[in-house]
Chain A
Amino acid sequence: MLNPKPNSQQSSLYEKRKAVFPKAVNGRFRRFKWLVMLVTLGIYYGTPWLRWDRGPYVPNQAVLIDLAHRRFYMFGIEIWPQEFYFVAGLLIMAGIGLFLVTSAVGRAWCGYACPQTVWTDLFQHVDRLVDGDRNAQLRLQAAPWGPGKIGKRAIKWLIYLQIAFWTGGAWIMYFADAPTLTRSFWSGTADPIAYATVAVLTATTFIFGGFMREQVCIYMCPWPRIQTAMLDEKSLIVTYKDWRGEPRGSVKQAEKTPGAVGDCIDCNQCVNSCPTGYDIRNGPDIACITCALCIDACDNVMAQIGRPRGLIDYATLEDCAVERAGGAPRPIIKALFHTRTLVYLGVWSALGLGLLFALGARKHIGIAVQKDRNPPYMRMSSGEIRNAYTVKLRNMEARPRLMEVSIDGLPGGRMWTDETARDSAARALRSTVAADRVEPLRVYVIAPDGTGAQHFTFKLRALDQEGGGGSTDVRFDAPGGDGQ
């Protein structure tokens, strides 16, 4: 042991969470946060219930991640597993989108749109609904356990649990047909994985939203660290304008000795309204998620005492320096666009346009061929040479299509499948490919004795009005080839 005699003065190595009871605020940013909460939660809970008619052969859920059938549906877009680069592209866009947002408006993601923020905000409203506002919550926290406190806690946690359950319940709706899954979920016949997923997400939502709250942001989440690294002196942050506020003093002091004290009356409304319990007057910090509620709180106080708003406000560090030196505040809109923002915007838009172009230009029909390599070729009793191939015809349309596969090249070459007789061997064969399916065909290609090893092409053509097709180059092996 390093310290045989533990010193009474020694600090504790671990700190109990200091509960945060943010005070309700009204104001423009609060209203904006309500709107964002409404939109994000609306999207989250509502999206799986949107329908999108794709015809009789494929699901009609607008957004569906169909893992069982390996399809990803998003409105008019259907992604197959081999096209996963579209999803990867979307993820990259989301990443660069966060860079863009961060460079323009700082930690806006943390402050407004992050699920941890939105759900914590929701749970804090539940606190106010059940326990009352900040002061009532503080009193209840300090009160001894009694019937009243137990009852209120029980009600509150039951509401938490309800919200958490619906959060987990909504999640699984993205992975199966929502109405069907809802029925099977409540009749107890859904896949066990559905119940497990709901249970896990209910538990995490309950714990993270109800109890961990700002601890997630400050200790668990890597994103604040990354975001703080991406902020620079041109990024908007929530700032206390200390040159205007300091030294702090009461309204009476200011009346007695004008000019001796700043605008901050040290009312602590900014700290009391902060969902992470941080004092913004100490400067930017990882604990500040830039939700801007302190701006609303301070603006309300400034309005009451008849001083101009914006003692706490969005500003860039560059603008702070200008203002500190006596310059006029710059409108926020001008802070949004600077070189880095524009570069991010350019990259983001280019990616988006590229993806859209690729999506529009992709073909909904295709052919892929795998050649048998063991044995590479066969001699038939007639002396002809036979090669075998697995030909896969891809039909991404939501209807069955009649397709024709033909041999291009390979003089004298004919083919048949394991479902047709060898007598019917021909230069081309037809097959109806079911809607939204890949049809594998076992194809035997035969060429006259003496045919050398060579390449030829399988050509695919759709025999309906829309047409289209594809081709793929394959090898034909024969004895006396190039040593293969």
Chain B
Amino acid sequence: MGCMSSRSVFTVTATARCGVGGLGAAVNTMSSSCVALLALALGAAGCDGFADPSREYGAPVIGEATHGTLIESPQTLGVVDSPLVDVNGTPIGVECETCHGPNPATSWAATPGKPFHTGVGVTEGGVRFLNKHGHLRCDNCHTEDRLTVHLADGTHLSLGDTMRLCAQCHGPQSRDYQHGSHGGMDGFWDLRQGPRTRNNCVVCHAPHAPHFEPRLPAKGPQDWYLRPKPEFTEEGEAPDSEEATHG
């Protein structure tokens, strides 16, 4: 066991503590208080290597990356905000199938005087709704019944496979996603030891309004030295300033 201190001041200590087989052995020969005080006063003897080399590493991980990556892929269409609001003023969400399914509830769709697809950035029937996804029309992505989607070349896609649809325009994002540098994930970096969960595009980006709206951040640090500094005037410290104290 090589015990060396980088500072010559502590070399004596290091030799004394390690040279007699560590503190445990020393306790037997000296009174414990002396050792304790010595340790307190000079407690500066770390060793560069491990006394027990088997403690340096844990068990090696053997085998291939057998665990997979599960991608959260919603299999159904989402919910759109309707012009109706609840008591809190929050728009009531309506599932697409309510109107576009086999048994449409037409009364919902025909709210007079108000466009229905609030928050859906599309042009529909000459009416311009919120422009949040470029100048796309429904038909650019949806099939005629509006319940499934298709690629630009007409290939039908299941709703769980929409990442291919998004990748048609968002190439760099798709490339980054495939290399694990876009979109959040959970689980294991080491696929030899456990699986990973990822999101597909529409889990985070609402397809009709994909941009993240600005939001309030989580709580910031509250260290005493980060608090606003008191402002100084010609008369001295401003009267309303609080003196910074340790938090």
A and B associate: no
Query: Which B positions have Cβ atoms within 8 angstroms of A?
Result: none
Query: Which A positions have Cβ atoms within 8 angstroms of B?
Result: none
